[in-house]
C-alpha cells in the first residue's frame, strides 16, 4: 500500500498546499489529479487561533526575582526588599504582616509606631532583577548599606529591621556610585509632602496676587 502511494506521488509534476475546506477540497484534489498535480491539505487559520495567540497584557507587578523599594506616604523612610516570588504575592505577605502587626516585618513595625502613616504601594520601584537567590540577597544588602552605611539601621532612613546578608567591607568603596544610581530610581520626596508643598506654593501665590 505504501509503495503504491509513493508511486502515485512520484507521478505528480507539482504539489499544491492549500487549507482544507470540507466539500470543496475533495473536488479540487480530484480535478487537479487529472493534470498530475497533487494536493496536500493544511489546517487553515481560524478566528479562534487569532484570539488565542493574543497575549493578555501583563500587570506591572507580575514580575519576580526582584530587589524592590517601598516608600511611606507620610515620611521619607523607605523599605528595601528582595523576593523570588511575583511581587503581588510578596505585597500580600507584607499586607498580612501589617494587619497582624508582626514584629519581624519592617513595614508592620513602621506603621505600628506611626499610626497615621501609610505605605505607598502605588509608587513601588523595582531596583533590579536577579534570578540567582544569593546574588539577589547580596545586591539587596549592597543597596541597604549604600543608603545606611552604619552598622545598625537608622530609623530616619529605612524601615528595614536589619541590613540583610553580610557583605565584604570592600563594597563600601562603591557606595557613592551606587547611591548615585539609586537616586535616579528612588523618589526621596514622599507624595504627601509634595502635595503639601504644592498647596503651600499655591497659597503663597494667591496671597501675593
Q: State the average pLDDT over residues 180-194.
A: 68
| The pLDDT of residue 190 | 47
What is the rounded average pLDDT for all residues in the chain? 80
| The pLDDT of residue 54 | 59
Query: Could you tell me the pLDDT band of residue 40, with boundaries at 50, 70 and 90?
Result: confident
Together in a domain, 43 and 75: no
pLDDT exceeds cutoff 50 at 111: yes
**Assigned domain for 112 exists:** yes
Together in a domain, 72 and 150: yes
Together in a domain, 150 and 181: yes
Together in a domain, 105 and 142: yes
Q: State the average pLDDT over residues 95-122.
A: 96
> pLDDT per residue over 43-99, tens digit each?
656 555 555 655 666 678 889 999 999 999 999 999 999 999 999 999 999 999 999
**Assigned domain for 59 exists:** no
Together in a domain, 179 and 138: yes
**Assigned domain for 48 exists:** yes
The 3-class secondary structure across the chain, one letter per residue, is CHHHHHHHHHCCCEEEEEECCCCCHHHHHHHHHCCCEEEEEECCCCHHHHHHCCCCCCCCCCCCCEEEEEEECCCCCEEEEEECCCHHHHHHHHHHHHHHCCCCCHHHHHHHHCCCCCEEEEEEEEEEECCCHHHHHHHHHHHHHHHCCCCCCCCCCECCCCCCCCCCHHHHHHHHHHHHHHHHHCCCCCHHHHHHHHHHHHHHHHHHC
> pLDDT per residue over 131-146, tens digit each?
999 999 999 999 999 9
**Assigned domain for 199 exists:** no
| The pLDDT of residue 78 | 96
| The pLDDT of residue 37 | 73
**Assigned domain for 202 exists:** no
Burial class (CB in 10 A: 0-12, 13-18, 19+), 28: middle
Together in a domain, 146 and 124: yes
Domain of 175, in residue numbers: 66-188
| The pLDDT of residue 189 | 53
| d(C-alpha 164, C-alpha 145), whole Å | 9
Q: State the average pLDDT over residues 152-161.
A: 93
Q: What is the CATH number of the domain that holds 96?
A: 3.40.1440
Together in a domain, 19 and 105: no
**Cα 116 versus chain centre, distance:** 29
Count of structural domains, the chain: 2
**Assigned domain for 6 exists:** yes
Q: Which residue has the cell 494587619?
A: 99
Together in a domain, 25 and 81: no
Torsion 185-188-192-197 (CA) sign: negative
Together in a domain, 47 and 73: no
**Assigned domain for 111 exists:** yes
pLDDT exceeds cutoff 50 at 199: no
Together in a domain, 85 and 126: yes
Together in a domain, 128 and 150: yes
Together in a domain, 46 and 139: no
pTM: 0.65
| The pLDDT of residue 186 | 84
**Assigned domain for 58 exists:** no
Q: State the average pLDDT over residues 157-165.
A: 95
**Residues 192 and 120 sit within 8 Å (Cβ to Cβ):** no
pLDDT exceeds cutoff 50 at 3: no
* Best CA proximity match to 158, nearest among 178, 137, 186: 186
Amino acid at each position: 500500500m505504501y509503495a503504491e502511494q509513493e508511486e502515485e506521488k512520484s507521478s505528480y509534476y507539482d504539489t499544491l498546499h492549500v487549507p482544507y475546506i470540507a466539500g470543496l477540497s475533495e473536488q479540487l484534489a480530484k480535478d487537479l489529479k487529472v493534470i498530475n498535480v497533487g494536493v496536500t491539505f493544511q489546517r487553515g487559520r481560524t478566528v479562534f487561533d487569532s484570539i488565542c495567540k493574543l497575549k493578555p497584557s501583563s500587570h506591572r507587578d507580575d514580575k519576580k526575582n526582584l530587589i524592590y523599594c517601598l516608600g511611606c506616604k507620610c515620611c521619607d523612610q523607605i523599605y528595601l526588599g528582595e523576593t523570588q516570588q511575583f511581587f503581588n504575592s510578596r505585597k500580600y505577605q507584607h499586607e498580612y504582616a501589617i494587619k497582624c502587626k508582626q514584629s519581624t516585618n519592617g513595614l508592620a513595625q513602621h506603621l505600628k509606631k506611626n499610626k497615621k502613616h501609610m505605605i505607598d504601594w502605588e509608587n513601588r520601584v523595582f531596583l533590579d532583577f536577579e534570578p540567582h537567590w544569593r546574588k539577589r540577597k547580596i545586591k539587596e544588602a549592597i543597596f541597604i548599606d549604600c543608603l545606611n552605611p552604619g552598622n545598625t539601621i537608622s530609623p530616619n532612613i529605612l524601615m528595614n529591621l536589619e541590613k540583610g546578608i553580610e557583605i565584604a567591607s570592600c563594597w563600601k568603596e562603591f557606595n557613592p556610585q551606587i547611591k548615585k544610581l539609586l537616586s535616579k530610581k528612588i523618589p526621596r520626596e514622599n507624595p504627601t509632602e509634595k502635595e503639601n508643598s504644592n498647596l503651600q506654593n499655591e497659597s503663597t501665590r494667591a496671597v501675593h496676587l
